[in-house]
């Protein structure tokens, strides 16, 4: 092969890489276009009541997803808060506390938990976690909170069970990002903090503050994982239209579980398919908004804003 032929082959390879990226962009644009075209039909029919009312009736052809929107936001927020606490504690333990020879083993075990199929998490959640939460909530000493937080379904299913399950599922992703950020804290920062006579706990807390941008990114990725999770959540959330979605011990719906549960019957009704696309469009808008917000906050942190 002559040098010119080699150059041409490398140039063809770069063209192929470029075409692949363009194909991804076109695919995303097409998905958004289809979501918008189908979803807007239900917004034209229902107006803003599609996101401000809690009704899902194929027989009456009336659709409002407030119950699923509220369930999605509540389960995601609870899951992210719990997952970040777990991820930060796990990262500090691995980076700052464990002996050097144990760090790779524990890190690998944490990373391995992210590869477990979601249906296995769902089974564990349905037969172990949900009944456990239902038993705790059923304690007579906690009877006074039922009027505020509701009661689990017959199998123990609830929005809170879905939140706990989601937090366990997304914490390995957040842990990996925070752990690597802690490893990448410059050595001179580490040495400077210890030279001030600070304790290991105080140093760890200051390093967490130092990597706050990475924690924001971890929260964003964890949110993306939580808000779109379908199978495992569908198995423990209860799949019930629950207008009082703020009562987290009640069963309910998330947008993802609503789509997964209702798409099989959708074609039997004239407006249910547009309603499902409309729900997916709302889910996409939430994810996009959170990503933009986190990028904006990250830039503010970078420039000291």
**pLDDT one-digit tens code per residue, 142-154:** 777 777 888 888 7
* Location of structure tokens 């925070």: 178
Instruction: Check residues 7 and 11 and name the one with the higher pLDDT.
Output: 11
Is the pLDDT assigned to residue 302 strictly greater than 60? no
Q: Residue 80 has which token pair?
A: 């992210």
**6-10, 31-35, 62-66: which has the minimum mean pLDDT?**
6-10
pLDDT digits (tens, 9 = 90+) for 93-126: 999 888 888 888 998 898 888 888 888 999 999 9
Alpha-carbon Rg for the chain, nearest whole angstrom, is: 23
Do the Cβ atoms of 261 and 230 come closer than 8 Å?
Answer: no
Q: Which of 258, 250, 193 is nearest to 227 (CA)?
A: 258
The answer, yes or no, to whether residue 164 has pLDDT greater than 90, is yes
Residues 63 and 41: their CA atoms lie apart, in Å, by 12
Contacts of 143 (CB under 8 A, 6+ apart): none
**What pLDDT score does 6 carry?**
60
Token pair, residue 135, equals 């038993």
How far is residue 93's CA from residue 266's CA, in Å, rounded to a whole number? 48
What are the C-alpha distances in Å from 294 to residues 183, 211, 280, 289, 290? 22, 14, 21, 9, 6
Reported as half-sphere exposure (CB side, CA atoms, 13 A), residue 174 has a value of 31
Q: Distance between CA atoms of 110 and 168, rounded to whole angstroms? A: 11
- Indicate whether 305 pLDDT > 50: no
In the predicted structure, residue 3 carries a pLDDT above the cut 70: no
Query: Which H/E stretch holds residue 251?
Result: none
> Distance between terminal CA atoms of the chain?
56
């Amino acid at each position: 092969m002559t040098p010119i032929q080699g150059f041409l082959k490398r140039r063809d390879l770069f063209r192929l890489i470029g075409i692949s990226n363009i194909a991804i962009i076109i695919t995303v644009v097409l998905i958004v276009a289809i979501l918008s075209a189908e979803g807007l039909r239900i917004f034209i029919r229902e107006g803003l009541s599609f996101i401000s009312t809690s009704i899902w009736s194929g027989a009456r052809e009336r659709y409002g997803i407030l119950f699923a929107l509220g369930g999605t936001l509540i389960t995601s927020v609870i899951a992210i808060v719990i997952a970040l606490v777990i991820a930060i504690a796990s990262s500090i333990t691995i980076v700052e506390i464990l002996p050097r020879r144990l760090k790779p083993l524990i890190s690998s075990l944490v990373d391995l938990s992210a590869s477990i199929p979601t249906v296995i998490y769902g089974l564990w959640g349905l037969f172990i976690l949900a009944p456990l939460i239902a038993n705790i909530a059923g304690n007579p000493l906690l009877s006074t909170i039922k009027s505020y937080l509701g009661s689990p379904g017959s199998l123990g299913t609830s929005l809170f069970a879905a939140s706990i399950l989601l937090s366990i599922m997304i914490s390995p992703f957040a842990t990996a990002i925070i752990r690597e950020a802690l490893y990448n804290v410059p050595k001179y920062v580490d040495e400077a903090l210890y030279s001030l006579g600070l304790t290991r706990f105080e140093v760890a807390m200051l390093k967490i503050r130092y990597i706050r941008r990475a924690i924001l990114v971890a929260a964003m990725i964890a949110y993306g994982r939580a808000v779109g999770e379908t199978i495992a959540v569908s198995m423990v959330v209860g799949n019930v239209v629950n207008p009082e979605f703020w009562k987290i011990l009640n069963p309910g719906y998330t947008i993802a579980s609503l789509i997964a549960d209702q798409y099989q019957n959708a074609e039997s009704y004239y407006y249910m398919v547009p309603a499902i696309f409309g729900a997916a469009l709302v889910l996409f808008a939430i994810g996009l908004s959170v990503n933009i917000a986190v990028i904006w906050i990250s830039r503010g942190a970078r420039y000291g804003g």
